[in-house]
Amino acid sequence: DAKTTQPPSMDCAEGRAANLPCNHSTISGNEYVYWYRQIHSQGPQYIIHGLKNNETNEMASLIITEDRKSSTLILPHATLRDTAVYYCIANPSGGSNYKLTFGKGTLLTVNP
Amino acid sequence: GAGVSQSPSNKVTEKGKDVELRCDPISGHTALYWYRQSLGQGLEFLIYFQGNSAPDKSGLPSDRFSAERTGGSVSTLTIQRTQQEDSAVYLCASSPARRGGLNNEQFFGPGTRLTVL
């Protein structure tokens, strides 16, 4: 699986958009970009995934660059409950893609 | 709707004892996964069940670890002769049937925090 790189921490003001970057310059054509988050003392929570088109759901938007070497997760109106560690992973379709492996992620702190 | 549940939420045991951790997946989910997360560490895959297929046990760290899934639903992770290095949060996840090889999102339970003294 392609390695991903994320900043260790970010701050965001409550009500503002949180834009979390992820670099995946070695991503291969069959690898999807997945985002999960983990709120303190809870299990990880799936957020969104995409291949090459931008995606949006009720939680967030995912913007993937045309060359697919990086992506940005956008939380449009961050709340205090969005404070969590956010993980970006590149996960292939098929094979053993069910083995999720998280790196260090980005600790997003939403401030009042 | 009900999510993935795990029990107990916390377990303290003495070195050398056996422990059983339980996972109730989301109803209808055919795939079930066990992971563990040590303090400050990432997620470590342990085992994967998919329907009636043979489980992928490749992540189990030693033969002291075993897991079973009865009736395609509830799963139990058993650790025999626990060691202090087994202390971690054990997470269970489930997902619906895989479509076209794409790994569906995994829904995680709250975890069981195991402390081996």
Q: Which amino acid is at B94?
A: S
A94: pLDDT confidence band, cut at 50, 70 and 90?
A: low
| Element housing B44 (H / E) | strand B43-50
Structure tokens that stand for A85 in this block:
């560690």
> Lowest-confidence range among A99-103, B4-8, B61-65, B82-86?
A99-103
Structure confidence at residue A70 (pLDDT): 96
Min distance B24 CA to chain A CA atoms (Å): 14
- CB A93 to CB B103 under 8 A? yes
Q: Which residue has the tokens 């492996």?
A: A101
Answer whether B117 touches A (CB < 8 Å).
no
Answer whether B1 touches A (CB < 8 Å).
no
User: Where is pLDDT greater, at B72 or B94?
Assistant: B94
- CB A99 to CB B4 under 8 A? no
Answer whether B111 touches A (CB < 8 Å).
yes
Q: Considering only alpha carbons, which residue of chain A is nearest residue B46?
A: A99
Q: What residues of chain A lie within 8 A of the CB of B31, using their CB?
A: 98
Q: List, as own/partner pairs, every contact residues B41-49 make where C-beta atoms lie below 8 angstroms and the sequence separation is at least 24, other chains included.
A: B42/A101, B42/A102, B42/A103, B42/A104, B43/A44, B43/A100, B43/A101, B43/A102, B43/B91, B45/A99, B45/A100, B45/A101, B46/B77, B46/B90, B47/B77, B48/A98, B48/A99, B49/B75
Q: Under a CB-based contact definition with an 8 Å cutoff, are residues A100 and A47 in contact?
A: no
Q: Which amino acid is at A9?
A: S
- CB A93 to CB B100 under 8 A? yes
Structure confidence at residue A80 (pLDDT): 97
